[in-house]
């Protein structure tokens, strides 16, 4: 599959978002873009993997092998990562963190298969960050109550409240921009290489794919999930799950 698949609608490879088709809704023209298509492909891969894993577990053996080994290893490593950061709260959030991890990682590496990474669209990364932001604020109110939240905003002195509010509101922006900028930069660089070098760009760009798609993609997935767990665990404090 060529690197240009779903990266552009024209003859040249580029890193822009393109409309695939449009439709009318309540008198407004809405577009299905390459981001929607690629995100759908990633979600279908995840759903297919989960269905296969569920069927396999119904016939799981005491001594795992093959696909069962892969599933158990992934679950064990993810549980270990979440438990190591969130402690006793891990049981409540491991499904959310696991879903985030798989979606972001597969989105980040989708450039290897000629897709435009959905995480190279700020609309996607900001939506993911907003979900995390909502969980942070919800758990703050649940475990710290309104009085605790207001006390935290006035720490160390009430005059610091505006700065603390700005800091809280900056969380989804910083989370989303970090992921978006790193993935978009890699997508842009690879698109430029394939466009400018044309037929010369054979085989050797694989080394760049290893860095921009696999290494950088894995690092950004880990950073996003780690920050998400840290923020939520801090919001929960010592409360019982």
Digit-coded pLDDT (tens) for 179-232: 999 999 888 888 777 777 767 767 667 777 778 788 889 999 999 999 999 999
Q: Which residue has the tokens 């970090």?
A: 178
68-97 residues labelled b (16+ CB within 10 A) or e (exposed)? beebeeeeeebeebbeebbeebbeebbebb
Q: Residue 241 pLDDT > 80, yes or no?
A: no
Q: Residue 50 pLDDT > 60, yes or no?
A: yes
Tell me if residue 96 falls in helix, strand or coil: helix
- Residue 156, preceding bond cis, omega within 30 degrees? yes
Q: Write out the two tokens for 212.
A: 């921009």
Which residues make beta-bridge pairs with 24?
A: 29
Q: Comparing C-alpha atoms, which of 159, 109, 170 is closest to residue 136?
A: 170
Q: Who wins on pLDDT, 44 or 69?
A: 44
pLDDT number for residue 6: 47
Tell me if residue 98 falls in helix, strand or coil: helix
Which residues make beta-bridge pairs with 31?
A: 22
| Structural contact between residues 3 and 13, judged by C-beta atoms closer than 8 angstroms | yes
Query: pTM to 2 decimals?
Result: 0.86
């Amino acid at each position: 599959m060529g690197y240009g698949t779903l990266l552009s609608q024209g003859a040249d490879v580029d890193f822009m978002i393109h409309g695939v088709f449009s439709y009318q809704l309540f008198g407004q023209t809405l577009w299905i873009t390459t981001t929607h298509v690629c995100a759908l492909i990633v979600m279908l891969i995840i759903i297919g993997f989960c269905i296969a894993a569920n069927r396999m577990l119904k016939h799981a053996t005491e001594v795992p092998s093959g696909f069962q080994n892969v599933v158990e290893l992934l679950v064990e490593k993810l549980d270990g990562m979440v438990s190591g950061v969130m402690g006793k709260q891990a049981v409540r959030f491991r499904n959310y963190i696991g879903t985030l991890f798989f979606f972001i990682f597969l989105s980040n590496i989708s450039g290897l298969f000629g897709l435009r990474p959905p995480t190279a669209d700020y609309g996607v990364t900001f939506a993911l960050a907003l979900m995390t932001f909502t969980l942070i604020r919800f758990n703050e109110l649940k475990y710290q109550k309104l009085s605790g939240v207001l006390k935290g905003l006035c720490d160390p002195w009430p005059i610091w409240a505006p700065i603390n509010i700005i800091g809280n509101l900056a969380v989804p922006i910083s989370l989303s921009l970090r992921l978006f900028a790193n993935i978009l930069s890699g997508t842009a660089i690879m698109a430029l290489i394939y466009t400018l070098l044309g037929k010369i760009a054979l085989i050797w760009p694989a080394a760049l794919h290893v860095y921009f798609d696999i290494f950088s993609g894995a690092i950004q997935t880990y950073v996003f999930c780690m920050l998400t767990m840290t923020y939520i665990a801090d919001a929960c404090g010592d409360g019982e799950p």
